[in-house]
Amino acid sequence: MRFQTGFGWAGRSAATAIALTLMLSACGGGSDSGGSSGGSATTNTAPTFTSAGTASVVENTAGTAYTASANDAQGDSVTYSIAGGADAAAFTLGAGGALSFVQPPNYDLPGDANGDNVYEVTLKASDGKLDSTLALAITVTNDREGITVKRVATGLVDPVGIASLGSGSDIAVALKANEILKINGTTGAASQYYVFKNSVSAPVPGLTLLGLTRAAASGASKSLYALTAQSGRASVACVSCWYSPSYGDLADISNGTSVAIGTGPDGAAFVAIGDPAGTLAQSSSSNAGKLIRFVVNPDPYAGASVPPDLYLRNTVGNGLHAPSGVTTLPDGRLAVSDRGGSVFDELSLTASLTSLNFGWPFYEGTQEVNAGGAALSGLVMPSLSIPLGSDKRQSRGIVGGIAYTGSIPGIANQYVFADADGRIWSIPLAKFVAGTTVQSSALEVRNEDFKPDVGTIDHPIGFALDAEGTLYILDSDGDLFRVSAA
Ligand SMILES: [Ca+2]
Ligand SMILES: [Ca+2]
Ligand SMILES: [Ca+2]
Ligand SMILES: [Ca+2]
């Protein structure tokens, strides 16, 4: 080995010697910082960047995102600094040229000045006397963050609601035409689970379904509660709570009023009823615009009520416009999604379950759209306000979501929801600080992370977690999607 090295050196000796001579001569003669006098002085030149003007990093990258390098013709040592650029503040630069993000970048919620995930920063290379700059553009690319979305069922006819069946990956999906399916969320195998039937065991004529939730029928035992509609009126019916179904009448929905059902922190079913015109939402004489708590009456034959009412219900809130979802967060707050009339959709969170006022027709979001709002008591200002519109963080109709408590790190402890046009959003639950309204600029746009293997999530209407914590998204055009770890 040593012999070979020596032999190779000897073989190139002439050319190398000439090169070394030229280099030493340049160093000695060109130095204007070494105090050398005499000889032929050469002019100092600024370092020249040799690293590229563009780079690409995957989101969530911590540590070095790019390494600057520059060549100095005189061999001066080069130092690097940030000289400007629209996104200069997003970066920190080590003296050796290692550039990193102050906060790991989030593709789904870009932090650059114009929000296009291309971060612009100007770097400077200096030899102590002269410098040059490089306009650097770093593109942040998406990572799916462990999220895999598989279409597990398709061809469902007019699905309207989804809920866990309480064991394994069994999911109940309500179809508009009075049928509840049991779907194995892993295999997609579907079978009929329940149909509301009359006294002669025929499907109830004219009955349609509007929604579904899994709530406590009595005590801790849970059952499905379906929102039903018949002859222009909405009702709630507990599935399999009695030998025959019983309907708890709610409200006139013949004018297209939206109704949503979910489960509260106390296990009761909560129904949110809209009031598009806004004339009844604040009136105690109507269920329109109200949030109503439903439980099975444990003793329906007590007292003199004939016929017995099999449900107990109480109004817990006023002032809803066009609700689209009710769910409960892990901290026990009830979350109600309400679509706005012309300005804002909103998500309202409340720890209290009495005497609430969601503000319609006086407020949309935090904006007073009709005079008189200040006089309302129990006013619940939204925890999240989303302007209506067509941009990525504007809504075309909020769809009630769910707090994801499963194992996928990319969405763990986030509220995951959507709009009717298929935007999928998430936001960390920790952002919902009581007494504050989060703006839609804080929403992570998760469509790329949630792109399914087959089909499109373009008309989402419902979210549910199965008993194992796996997330499902129901699409009104007939698809059921399962969201699992990669
Ligand atoms: Ca130089
Ligand atoms: Ca992200
Ligand atoms: Ca940019
Ligand atoms: Ca992502």
342-377 per-position pLDDT tens digit: 999 999 999 999 999 999 999 999 999 999 888 899
Q: What share of the chain is helix, strand, coil (3-state, %, to 5)?
A: 10, 40, 50
Pairing outcome for strands 221-230 and 356-357: unpaired
Between CA 9 and CA 4 the distance in angstroms is 9
Structure tokens at 221: 């035992």
Range in 242-246, 279-283, 323-327 the model is least confident about: 242-246
What are the C-alpha distances in Å from 249 to residues 83, 229, 234, 236, 425? Answer: 68, 9, 6, 7, 34
Cα torsion angle, 279, 282, 285, 286, sign: positive
Measured from the alpha carbon of residue 145, the closest ligand is 4
Residue 65 alpha carbon to ligand 1 centre in Å: 27
Measured from the alpha carbon of residue 143, the closest ligand is 4
5: confidence class by pLDDT, cuts 50, 70, 90 = very low
Residue 115 has pLDDT above 90, yes or no: yes
Q: What is the mean pLDDT of residues 174-201?
A: 96
Measured from the alpha carbon of residue 111, the closest ligand is 3
Residue 113 alpha carbon to ligand 3 centre in Å: 6
What are the C-alpha distances in Å from 1 to residues 5, 6, 9, 78? Answer: 6, 9, 13, 36
19: confidence class by pLDDT, cuts 50, 70, 90 = very low
Residue 336 alpha carbon to ligand 2 centre in Å: 25
The three-state secondary structure class of 314 is strand
Residue 142 alpha carbon to ligand 2 centre in Å: 7
What are the C-alpha distances in Å from 195 to residues 164, 181, 200, 228, 453? Answer: 17, 9, 13, 12, 32
**Any idea what DSSP says for residue 21?**
H
Q: What is the mean pLDDT of the chain?
A: 91
Can you list the domains of the chain with their CATH numbers?
Answer: 48-141 (2.60.40.60), 147-485 (2.120.10.30)
Between CA 279 and CA 286 the distance in angstroms is 10
Between CA 442 and CA 449 the distance in angstroms is 17
Residue 11 confidence (pLDDT): 42
Between CA 186 and CA 152 the distance in angstroms is 7
- Whether the Cβ atoms of residue 448 and residue 186 lie closer than 8 Å to each other: no
The three-state secondary structure class of 26 is helix
Residue 152 alpha carbon to ligand 4 centre in Å: 22
Structure tokens at 375: 């006089």
Range in 31-40, 95-104, 136-145, 465-474 the model is least confident about: 31-40
Residue 410 alpha carbon to ligand 1 centre in Å: 47
Residue 119 alpha carbon to ligand 4 centre in Å: 17
10: confidence class by pLDDT, cuts 50, 70, 90 = very low
Look at residues 399, 394, 395, 420 and name the one whose alpha carbon lies nearest to residue 477.
420
Measured from the alpha carbon of residue 60, the closest ligand is 2
Pairing outcome for strands 356-357 and 311-318: parallel
305: confidence class by pLDDT, cuts 50, 70, 90 = low
Cis peptide before 307 (omega within 30 of 0): yes
Look at residues 121, 122, 143, 140 and name the one whose alpha carbon lies nearest to residue 131.
122
CB-neighbour burial class of residue 137 (10 A; exposed 0-12, middle 13-18, buried 19+): middle
Residue 230 has pLDDT above 70, yes or no: yes
DSSP-assigned states of every residue in 281-302? TT-TT--TT-EEEEEE-S-TTS
- Whether the Cβ atoms of residue 435 and residue 442 lie closer than 8 Å to each other: no
- Whether the Cβ atoms of residue 140 and residue 108 lie closer than 8 Å to each other: no
The pocket of ion ligand 3, defined by CB under 5 A, consists of: 112, 114, 116, 118
Tokens 């006086």, located at residue = 362
The three-state secondary structure class of 8 is helix
The three-state secondary structure class of 430 is helix
Cα torsion angle, 434, 436, 437, 439, sign: negative
7: confidence class by pLDDT, cuts 50, 70, 90 = very low
Residue 329 has pLDDT above 90, yes or no: yes
Q: What is the mean pLDDT of residues 60-84?
A: 97
Half-sphere exposure of 168 (CA within 13 A, CB side): 8
What are the C-alpha distances in Å from 429 to residues 329, 332, 412? Answer: 8, 12, 9
Q: What is the pLDDT of residues 136-147, one digit of tens each?
A: 999 999 999 999
Residue 427 alpha carbon to ligand 3 centre in Å: 22
Residue 483 alpha carbon to ligand 2 centre in Å: 16
The pocket of ion ligand 1, defined by CB under 5 A, consists of: 44, 72, 74, 76, 127
Measured from the alpha carbon of residue 75, the closest ligand is 1
Residue 449 alpha carbon to ligand 4 centre in Å: 5
Q: What is the mean pLDDT of residues 392-421?
A: 97
Residue 87: beta bridge partners? none
Residue 108 has pLDDT above 80, yes or no: yes
Residue 463 alpha carbon to ligand 4 centre in Å: 20
Residue 18 confidence (pLDDT): 40
